[in-house]
Amino acid sequence: MNTPINSYPPQKAKFFVGILFHEGETSKEEIISFFNNQGFSACLESEPTFYEMANYYSKEMGPANKLKRFWLTFKGVEDRTKLLELKARSCDWEEYWQKEKKAGGRVVNIDPGFISHEQVVLSTCKPYSHRLYLGAVRHFHIYGELTYVFQHKNWHSLDWTYPDYQIKEVKEFFLSARESLIDDLKEL
């Protein structure tokens, strides 16, 4: 089958997760080990930091001063459509951690997304005016949120980009992740 003249298939993307966790209940090392055991080999990881929006999650996850945030990318590249399954699995994993730690609320909050040459996209189960519906996996309805666009050799935030994604160090992490994506695509 010939590709129509004005149709461009998307390049593969590098997947990542943004993780908010209660440091009294688990650790970054334990979370990375969990992902490796699930078949998602860690590639790049950021250092855990205090989370600016911790008060929003503190009712469910515990004291704001115990909540830390980090980002983790996975080795290799995948079709962008895999974001749907990764989001559905992340919801299952959050439940697993809650049961495993016998916690009243979530112990980890897992926000998956992908990095491509031109953008960073987060996934969510909550609709909003700037989110596009991507599809459903099992009983999860999944939306995509454009978080960064790549222009002039840098990531640029949008009006709705979360505050923790606007921090200089986080943008630098995603620049490194983009370089890793480029290296992975060269190996294909």
The number of distinct structural domains making up the chain is 1
Q: What is the mean pLDDT of the chain?
A: 93
Can you read off the two tokens belonging to residue 7? 């149709």
Q: Give the domain range for residue 61.
A: 14-187
Q: For position 120, what pLDDT does the model report?
A: 98
Segment 69-87, tens digit of pLDDT: 999 999 999 999 999 999 9
Residue 6: inside a domain, yes or no? Answer: no
Residue 8: inside a domain, yes or no? Answer: no
- Spatial CB neighbours of 110, under 8 Å, sequence gap ≥ 6: 17, 18, 19, 90, 93, 94
* Spatial distance between the Cα atoms of 77 and 83, rounded to a whole number of angstroms: 12
Per-residue pLDDT band for 116 (boundaries 50, 70, 90) equals very high
Residue 1: inside a domain, yes or no? Answer: no
- Spatial CB neighbours of 58, under 8 Å, sequence gap ≥ 6: 64, 67
Residue 91: inside a domain, yes or no? Answer: yes
pTM, rounded to two decimals = 0.93
Report yes or no: 53 and 177 within 8 Å, Cβ to Cβ: no
Residue 101: inside a domain, yes or no? Answer: yes
* Three state DSSP letters for 82-145: HHHHHHHHHHHHHHHHHHHCCCCCCCEEEEEEEECCCEEEEEECCCCCCEEEEEEECCEEEEEE
Q: For position 3, what pLDDT does the model report?
A: 63
Residue 3: inside a domain, yes or no? Answer: no
Segment 27-57, tens digit of pLDDT: 999 999 999 999 999 999 999 988 777 888 8
Q: For position 6, what pLDDT does the model report?
A: 81
Q: For position 7, what pLDDT does the model report?
A: 84
How large a percentage of the chain has pLDDT more than 90? 82
